[in-house]
């Protein structure tokens, strides 16, 4: 049961919720968007908040950036007089870097870190803000470390003669011996790619292009 302050019956404070996952691994480890949203909705209901909007970001290797985060900031700008409450699961679901921290700090919000049982606002004690700043740095360090480990893994794969990333055209990613990810020829596309290289080497592609230009 949440034990934080409850608005009275005549007060319906508007709030928005933000949820984020940054990898398939986090999804498997229980950080799923659905799980975060369920927690935040329950919290909003118990605290008597009027949950007016929910913003979501799903980050993967193929899809970077945080569209939801940007839309959330835009919403706060347009509704500064009505909504100043942000609900999020915990610190590392909200910030990816120090810039995010500084930007949100300028909005003068009441940020509820539900799993951490903490609310940050302009009235928070300096010690609370200090500890929160440390958590922000820890979140940034976690992201930096993931990036570093990913680079190390790709270099190690390359040194072992294993393709370190997504398979190029004409190949596909499969699971090899001992669960290692490898690439093998794509039986449908490989012959076509091979034929294109042969045509290019023979000059047929360039010749066909010149003929098309003349026409």
Q: Is residue 98 part of a domain?
A: yes
Residue 173 banded pLDDT, cuts 50, 70, 90: confident
Q: How far apart are CA 168 and CA 97, in angstroms?
A: 32
Q: What average pLDDT does this structure show over 192-213?
A: 71
Q: How many CB atoms lie within 10 A of CB 94?
A: 22
Q: How far apart are CA 186 and CA 44, in angstroms?
A: 50
Question: 29 and 106 share a domain?
Answer: yes
Residue 207 banded pLDDT, cuts 50, 70, 90: low
Question: 32 and 103 share a domain?
Answer: yes
Question: 117 and 200 share a domain?
Answer: no
Q: Are 112 and 4 in contact (CB under 8 A)?
A: yes
Q: What average pLDDT does this structure show over 109-137?
A: 84
Structure tokens at 125: 């004690």
Going by their DSSP bridges, the two strands 14-21 and 50-58 should be labelled as parallel
Q: How far apart are CA 21 and CA 42, in angstroms?
A: 19
Q: Is residue 161 part of a domain?
A: no
Question: 101 and 187 share a domain?
Answer: no
User: Of 43, 138, 35, 33, whose CA–CA distance to 91 is shortest?
Assistant: 138
Question: 37 and 129 share a domain?
Answer: yes
Q: Is residue 5 part of a domain?
A: no
Question: 131 and 44 share a domain?
Answer: yes
pTM above 0.75, yes or no: no
Question: 138 and 46 share a domain?
Answer: yes
| Residue whose entry in the numeric block shows the structure tokens 């949820």 | 19
Q: What average pLDDT does this structure show over 195-210?
A: 71
Q: Is residue 147 part of a domain?
A: no
Give the pLDDT of residue 73. Answer: 94
Q: Are 109 and 118 in contact (CB under 8 A)?
A: no
Question: 39 and 111 share a domain?
Answer: yes
Question: 179 and 135 share a domain?
Answer: no
Q: Is residue 159 part of a domain?
A: no
Question: 63 and 132 share a domain?
Answer: yes
Question: 125 and 193 share a domain?
Answer: no
Question: 95 and 181 share a domain?
Answer: no
Kindly report which listed range (118-122, 159-163, 165-169, 185-189) carries the lowest average pLDDT score.
159-163
Q: Are 131 and 74 in contact (CB under 8 A)?
A: no
Indicate if the pLDDT at residue 54 is higher than 90. Answer: yes
Structural domain for 194, as ranges: 171-214
């Amino acid at each position: 049961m949440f034990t934080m302050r409850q608005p009275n019956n005549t007060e319906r404070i508007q709030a928005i919720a933000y949820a984020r996952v940054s990898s398939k691994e986090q999804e498997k480890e229980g950080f799923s968007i659905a799980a975060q949203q369920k927690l935040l909705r329950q919290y909003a209901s118990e605290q008597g908040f009027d949950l007016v909007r929910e913003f979501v970001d799903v980050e993967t290797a193929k899809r970077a950036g945080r569209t939801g985060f940007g839309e959330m900031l835009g919403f706060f700008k347009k509704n500064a007089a009505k909504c100043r409450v942000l609900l999020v699961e915990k610190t590392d679901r909200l910030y990816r870097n120090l810039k995010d921290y500084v930007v949100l700090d300028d909005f003068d919000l009441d940020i509820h870190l539900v799993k951490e049982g903490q609310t940050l606002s302009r009235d928070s004690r300096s010690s609370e803000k200090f500890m929160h700043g440390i958590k922000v740095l820890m979140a940034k360090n976690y992201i930096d470390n993931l990036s570093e480990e990913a680079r190390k893994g790709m270099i190690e794969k390359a040194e072992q003669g294993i393709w370190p990333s997504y398979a190029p055209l004409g190949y596909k990613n499969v699971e090899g011996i001992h669960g290692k990810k490898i690439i093998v020829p794509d039986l449908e596309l490989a012959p076509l790619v091979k034929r294109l290289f042969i045509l290019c080497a023979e000059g047929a592609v360039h010749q066909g292009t010149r003929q098309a230009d003349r026409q």
